[in-house]
């Protein structure tokens, strides 16, 4: 299906009600898929979200000779006994950011890697200097030339070392962890990122026989092991998908029970929603979300590394602030430019002024449907939330971004009462999907 030219059509303004399940976490899945290269064995990965970033990650593995077998809609068997490092096609790795994990995984397994520079959402400059610094500390020579990164350790042997991250980076922390898992000796990553997907990746590697301690804290300690073995492993639920549906309930004034999630992972989101006047009732692995009053209160929000408010919830939160009473401030402190979606939201009647890293959001009682673009993944889902909350019809273009990260989005939303569909072009006209 040609989603690149497809559109989402929403007839908004209906409160959504019912249960909405959360799929496996995208950013854990992509890290774990590449980590399987370190095992030389078969792994079965369960609860993999059926999204395009996972598909591209598996295609990249296949392109380097790994055997990938789909065992069910959310389960794959990955057999990494044979890997041909150095031949991943640029067109594939350039499609997504997480392809940089191929570098750490190949270095960990072979002591060398040759991989195209990663693509992904455009938030301004997306450097990988901290990844490179970590690889160099482990004894690698690293060159970046002609759109490729080439790294190799002397005699193919990486040596454990102490690595201090100058900025808190999710990808940098995971990549250095991958490279260090089979290095000789002991590695310490200091000022490490704390995100749940870092813990999930470390748990996967430990289940394969790695010796990683402290994942989820500032300091990750890795004692290199000679070999890893295969396992069956289940990916944790996606905290950003969970947070997205929590905001959707509040934005549409409905009541959603978000199921199959880990409430602890969304504490920063829960805290802000409660401050806005949203009721959140936790019950085991689900939360039920609804407004306590017809109005939402304005709040100030600043994105931060975990356990702070996630940058990947910035656009969704901006939609909710647009519907609150009074003026809110939303400050982005992780990415350089994450407000590209603001112009789209303004077409729907939102009143937002961006000054550098802060958006001033003046609440309005309602948004109105319009034709908008999904400028990136989280910006795209924010347009879906805005469209479902708005009066009238919203038409969203460039929707391939959205399907990079949200499994079964349309059917999950229809099941809670949304009037939403995807249309894809067929020759000269559009047909329903």
The residues assigned a catalytic role are 121
Q: How far is the CB of 168 from ligand EPU (least distance, A)?
A: 7
Residues 390/348, Cβ–Cβ less than 8 Å: yes
CA distances from 403 to 70, 119, 229, 357 (A): 19, 16, 33, 27
- What's the CA gap between 385 and 251, in Å, rounded? 7
Q: What is the DSSP letter of 396?
A: E
- Contact segment (CB under 6 A) with ligand EPU among 124-132, 225-233, 257-265, 271-279 equals 124-132
- Pairing state of beta strands 75-79 and 327-331? unpaired
- Pairing state of beta strands 429-432 and 420-426? antiparallel
Residue 98 interacting with ligand EPU (CB under 6 A): yes
Burial of 336 (0-12, 13-18, 19+ CB in 10 A): exposed
Q: How far is the CB of 95 from ligand EPU (least distance, A)?
A: 12
Query: Cα torsion at 184, 190, 193, 199 (round to 10°)?
Result: 50
User: Could you say which residues in the range 174-233 bind ligand EPU, by CB under 6 A?
Assistant: 193
Nearer to ligand EPU, 26 or 109 (CB): 26
Q: How far is the CB of 301 from ligand EPU (least distance, A)?
A: 15
- Pairing state of beta strands 255-259 and 429-432? unpaired
* Contacting residue, 7, 109, 131, 291, with ligand EPU by CB under 6 A: 131
Nearer to ligand EPU, 127 or 185 (CB): 127
User: Which residues sit opposite 381 in a β-bridge?
Assistant: none
Binding string, residues 349-388; x marks residues near ligand EPU by CB under 6 A: ----------------------------xx----------
Residue 265 interacting with ligand EPU (CB under 6 A): no
* Contacting residue, 39, 74, 130, 259, with ligand EPU by CB under 6 A: 130
Q: How far is the CB of 198 from ligand EPU (least distance, A)?
A: 9
| CA-wise closest residue to 243 among 262, 217, 220 | 262
Nearer to ligand EPU, 9 or 334 (CB): 334
- What's the CA gap between 297 and 295, in Å, rounded? 7
- Contact segment (CB under 6 A) with ligand EPU among 77-85, 162-170, 221-229, 365-373 equals 162-170
**In angstroms, how far is CA 350 from the centroid of its own chain?**
26
Nearer to ligand EPU, 126 or 340 (CB): 126
- Contact segment (CB under 6 A) with ligand EPU among 58-66, 167-175, 367-375, 422-430 equals 167-175
How long is the chain?
433
Residue 97 interacting with ligand EPU (CB under 6 A): yes
Binding string, residues 298-337; x marks residues near ligand EPU by CB under 6 A: -------------xx---------------------xx--
Residue 291 interacting with ligand EPU (CB under 6 A): no
| CA-wise closest residue to 300 among 331, 263, 341 | 331
User: Which residues sit opposite 188 in a β-bridge?
Assistant: 162, 221
- Contact segment (CB under 6 A) with ligand EPU among 40-48, 128-136, 183-191, 407-415 equals 128-136
Q: How far is the CB of 326 from ligand EPU (least distance, A)?
A: 28
* Contacting residue, 58, 128, 215, 361, with ligand EPU by CB under 6 A: 128
- What's the CA gap between 169 and 190, in Å, rounded? 11
Q: What is the DSSP letter of 71?
A: E
Which residue is associated with the tokens 């020759």?
427
Residue 126 interacting with ligand EPU (CB under 6 A): yes
- What's the CA gap between 5 and 277, in Å, rounded? 39
- Contact segment (CB under 6 A) with ligand EPU among 37-45, 140-148, 169-177, 420-428 equals 169-177
Residues 196/28, Cβ–Cβ less than 8 Å: yes
Q: What is the DSSP letter of 123?
A: -
The residues that touch ligand EPU, with contacts defined as CB under 6 A, are 26-27, 30, 97-98, 121, 126-131, 167, 169-172, 193, 311-312, 334-335, 377-378, 405
């Amino acid at each position: 299906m040609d989603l690149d030219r497809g559109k989402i059509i929403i007839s908004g303004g209906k409160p959504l009600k019912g249960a909405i399940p959360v799929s496996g976490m995208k950013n854990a899945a992509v890290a774990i898929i590449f980590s399987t290269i370190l095992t030389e064995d078969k792994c079965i990965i369960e609860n993999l979200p059926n999204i395009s970033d996972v598909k591209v990650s598996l295609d990249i593995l296949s392109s380097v000779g790994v055997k990938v077998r789909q065992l069910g809609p959310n389960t794959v068997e990955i057999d990494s006994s044979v890997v041909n490092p150095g031949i991943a096609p640029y067109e594939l790795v350039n499609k997504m950011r997480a392809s940089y994990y191929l570098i750490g995984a190949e270095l960990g397994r072979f002591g060398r890697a040759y991989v195209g520079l990663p693509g992904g959402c455009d938030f301004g400059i997306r450097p990988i200097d901290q990844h490179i610094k970590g690889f160099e500390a482990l004894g690698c020579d690293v060159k970046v030339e002609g759109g490729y990164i080439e790294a190799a350790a002397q005699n193919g042997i990486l040596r454990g070392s102490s690595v201090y991250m100058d900025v808190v980076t999710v990808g940098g922390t995971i990549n250095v962890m991958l490279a260090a898992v089979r290095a000789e000796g002991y590695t310490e990553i200091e000022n490490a990122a704390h995100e749940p997907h870092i813990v999930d990746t470390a748990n996967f590697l430990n289940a394969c026989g790695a010796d990683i301690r402290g994942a989820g804290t500032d300091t990750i300690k890795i004692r290199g092991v000679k070999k890893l073995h295969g396992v069956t492993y289940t990916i944790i639920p996606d905290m950003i998908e969970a947070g997205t549906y929590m905001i959707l309930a509040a934005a549409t004034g409905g009541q959603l029970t978000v199921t199959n999630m880990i409430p602890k992972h969304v504490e920063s989101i829960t805290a802000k929603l409660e401050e806005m006047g949203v009721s959140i009732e936790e019950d085991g692995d689900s939360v039920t979300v609804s407004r306590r009053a017809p109005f939402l209160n304005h709040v100030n929000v600043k994105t931060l590394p975990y356990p702070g408010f996630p940058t990947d919830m910035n656009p969704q939160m901006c939609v909710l602030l647009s519907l609150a009473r009074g003026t809110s401030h939303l400050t982005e402190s992780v990415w350089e430019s994450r407000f590209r979606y603001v112009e789209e939201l303004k077409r729907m009647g939102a009143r937002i002024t961006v000054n550098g890293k802060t958006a001033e959001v003046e609440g309005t009682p309602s948004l109105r449907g319009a034709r908008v673009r999904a400028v990136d993944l989280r910006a795209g889902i924010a347009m879906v939330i805005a469209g479902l909350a708005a009066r009238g019809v919203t038409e969203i273009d460039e929707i391939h971004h959205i399907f990079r990260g949200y499994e079964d989005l349309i059917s999950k939303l229809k099941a809670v009462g949304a009037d939403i569909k995807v249309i894809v072009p067929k020759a000269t006209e559009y047909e329903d999907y």
